């Protein structure tokens, strides 16, 4: 994405911002301790994400993070257990995305000298992406349409459409056949 960092100083947070963080933290805790596949669970998902979660999308608790109201999820997307979404910089997840267990989406870092100052960059995960278990996506990364991120990968740079990327740091090891996806998802 190559956009500039947005800087957020935690010491200058307003009372409203702090109250919202508390509310989101408590909702996530409630969700993480509620029986899945119940009306109460679905109500908490709706309260936590509002209109930021698309039709037929599924989040399996537990989910952890900050600023979860900055996490936008498309339709028909599946997020497995133990997602860590540090979403202060904004996270956009497209349609038909699969995110395996123990994935970390990190939009912020800490200034090395002023640790309460957070440089933030958004993460964009395009339609049809599959992210393997334990992968970490770092600030400012865009993962292209139908890309696959291997289990345990650490993604620090943009990944193109239809690429398979693995390792630490993640490197593209092959390209998928675009024609095989268009009919299935379009």
User: What are the catalytic residues?
Assistant: 110
102: left (phi over 0), alpha (psi -120 to 50) or beta: left
User: How far apart, in Å, do the first and last CA atoms of the chain sit?
Assistant: 24
Dihedral sign of CA atoms 39, 45, 47, 53 in order: negative
Phi and psi torsions of 62, nearest 5° = -85, 155
Phi and psi torsions of 180, nearest 5° = -75, -15
Which tokens go with 105? 């989406």
Which tokens go with 104? 């970390």
Whole-angstrom CA distances from 105 to 12, 99, 129, 154, 166 are: 24, 10, 14, 10, 16
What is the C-alpha separation between 148 and 100, in angstroms, rounded?
Answer: 11
Per the CB < 8 A criterion, the answer to whether 111 and 117 are in contact is: yes
């Amino acid at each position: 994405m190559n956009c500039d960092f947005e800087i957020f100083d935690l010491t200058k947070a307003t009372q409203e911002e702090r109250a919202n963080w508390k509310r989101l933290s408590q909702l996530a805790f409630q969700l993480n301790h509620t029986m899945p596949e119940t009306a109460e669970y679905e109500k908490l998902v709706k309260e936590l994400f509002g209109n930021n979660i698309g039709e037929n999308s599924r989040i399996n608790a537990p989910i952890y993070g900050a600023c979860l109201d900055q996490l936008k999820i498309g339709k028909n997307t599946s997020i497995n257990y133990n997602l860590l979404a540090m979403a202060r910089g904004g996270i956009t997840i497209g349609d038909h995305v699969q995110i395996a267990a123990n994935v970390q989406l990190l939009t912020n870092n800490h200034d090395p000298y002023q640790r309460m100052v957070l440089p933030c960059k958004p993460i964009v995960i395009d339609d049809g992406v599959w992210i393997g278990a334990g992968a970490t996506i770092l600030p400012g990364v865009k993962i292209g349409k139908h890309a696959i991120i291997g289990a345990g990968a650490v993604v620090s740079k943009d990944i193109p459409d239809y690429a398979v990327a693995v390792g630490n740091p993640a490197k593209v090891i092959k390209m998928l056949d675009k024609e095989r996806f268009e009919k299935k998802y379009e």
